[in-house]
Structure 1
Amino acid sequence: MFLQDCLAVRCFDLFVGALIFVIVLPVMLVIAVAIKLSSTGPVFFVQKRLAQGGRVFPCLKFRTMVSNAEDVLREALAKDPQMKAQWEKYFKLRKDPRITPLGRFLRATSLDELPQIINVLRGEMSLVGPRARPLYEREGQEKNRLFQLGLTVKPGMTGLWQVSGRSKLNFDQRIELEAWYVQNRSLRLDLTILVKTVGIVLRGDGAY
């Protein structure tokens, strides 16, 4: 049954993913040109993320930050204790000094995540699943059962946490939702999450 479920999810990812890719390709080309014209740096941001089983894969996104983003973040956190506290709680910043003007629009509309459809077609991600976690999030989580449970399936372009509050949720709330998803996942649940994601993205809820 487990293998059948995995095969069904993979077939769903390939069919729907390929359809989405064809539809959004013109949009992706326009975004790529806009990024090149508006700021210095590459079109894509490639970050190592945690995949199923704790493996590492190159997660693709459109670049939304300045080219020296890590230096800018480090300096900003050192100067602003409140910003540092927000980063340590959410691993996100509401007013992130690293993000370009175009990047803010891409993030608000979630268009920056469109290249992840390539990750889906390559089999590194699913359309729906837990968040593809950055490597730094696994620090100190070796004995966290809920965190580790989220790594037993492929990460998704969208997931339960994205339709349940997105950036409004803190780290612990996210991993609790993702653990629940893993224990209750089904194609029906995935379809429900995909439909809800469309509404969330159109409204721009919780995105920054």
Structure 2
Amino acid sequence: MPAQLFRYRVVKRAMDISFVLIAFPILLPLFAVISILVKWTSPGPIFFSHRRIRKNGAFFSMWKFRTMCVNSTEVLDEHLKMHPTANAEWNANRKLRADPRVTSVGSFLRRYSLDELPQLWNVLMGTMSLVGPRPIVAAEVEMYADGFQCYCRVKPGLTGLWQVSGRSELSYDVRVALDCEYVERWSLSRDLLILMKTFRVVVHQDGAF
């Protein structure tokens, strides 16, 4: 087994598990506060499970704190029908700057990426890594085009190269290019650098909406 492949499969996994086990006791009080706020301010479950694609093209359930109303699909469909500009924005980036589905607490959680914290469980279970391409849904495979092969070579990540390179300010094509660059040039030192940059990006809300 090549040395780099060994580092990716063994050392990277060991780093993922170690980080999560250290972080969980520290983050538990924050989990409790967020859970209370989500439940208190909006009817529905605390957590949200979404079907995403992982390594080798298999599907898995990615966990988040719920940031949207429970009838989010209907709300989005109606909003896109009534607002052509929003429809064009959604088709281009799969994101909306002014998303009518997002609750008031959900907006705050998203701004600081706190809604992503339950994905530490995905990391611990081995369906995700701390660093890698962000998990995509089936509808995005076509947008990835040839880049989907790069995406399928590694585990999706809690954070990644495009998150620390402009986040939601980037076009979808640039996002795909950065995901492929990460896969082709992966190293442990680069993972550590991305993790450090992630903290700065989240604190300063760079490209967040």
- What TM-score comes out, normalization by structure 2 length? 0.96
Give the corresponding residue for 1:72.
75
AA in 2 matched with 1:154:
K
Q: Give the counterpart letter for 1:23 in structure 2.
A: I
Q: Which runs of 5+ in 1 are unaligned?
A: none
User: What residue is the counterpart of 2:126 in the other structure?
Assistant: 123
CA distance in 2, matches of 1:150, 1:66: 30
Q: Which residue of 2 aligns with 1:43?
A: 46
**Is 2:101 the counterpart of 1:93?**
no
Pick which of 18-27 and 185-194 moved more: 18-27
| 2:61 match | 58
Identity of aligned residues (%): 46
After the TM superposition, which segments of 4 or more aligned residues of structure 1 sit over 6 Å from their partners?
Answer: none
For residues 28 and 116 of structure 1, what CA distance do their matches in structure 2 show? 12
- 2:152 aligns with 151
Between 186-195 and 165-174, the greater mean CA deviation after superposition: 165-174
Corresponding residue for 1:194?
A: 195
Shift of residue 17, structure 1, vs aligned partner: 1.6
Count, aligned residues: 206
Find the aligned partners of 1:140 and 1:192 in 2 and give their Cα distance: 28
Deviation at 1:4, TM superposition (A): 3.9
Distance 1:97 1:7 in 2: 42
- Measured in 2, the distance between the counterparts of 1:137 and 1:173 equals 14
Following TM superposition, by how much is the alpha carbon of 1:20 offset from its aligned partner in structure 2, in angstroms?
1.5
Q: 1:113 aligns with which of 108, 113, 116?
A: 116
TM-score (norm 1): 0.96
Q: CA deviation at 1:140?
A: 6.1
Provide Cα deviations, 1:68-103, integer angstroms capped at 9, x if missing partner: 000000000011110000001110000000000000
| Residue 170 of structure 1, CA deviation | 1.5
Aligned counterpart for 1:24 among listed residues 27, 30, 46: 27
SS in 2 for 1:45: strand
Q: 1:118 & 1:15 partners in 2: Cα distance?
A: 13
SS of equivalent residue, structure 1 residue 32:
helix
Cα deviations by residue, 1:125-172 (Å, 9 ceiling, x for unpaired): 00000011122111465xx22222112100000000000011011211
AA of the residue aligned to 1:170: S
Q: What amino acid is aligned across from residue 161 of structure 2 in structure 1?
A: L
CA-atom RMSD in angstroms: 1.0
1:6 aligns with 2:9: yes
Query: Counterpart amino acid of 1:40?
Result: P
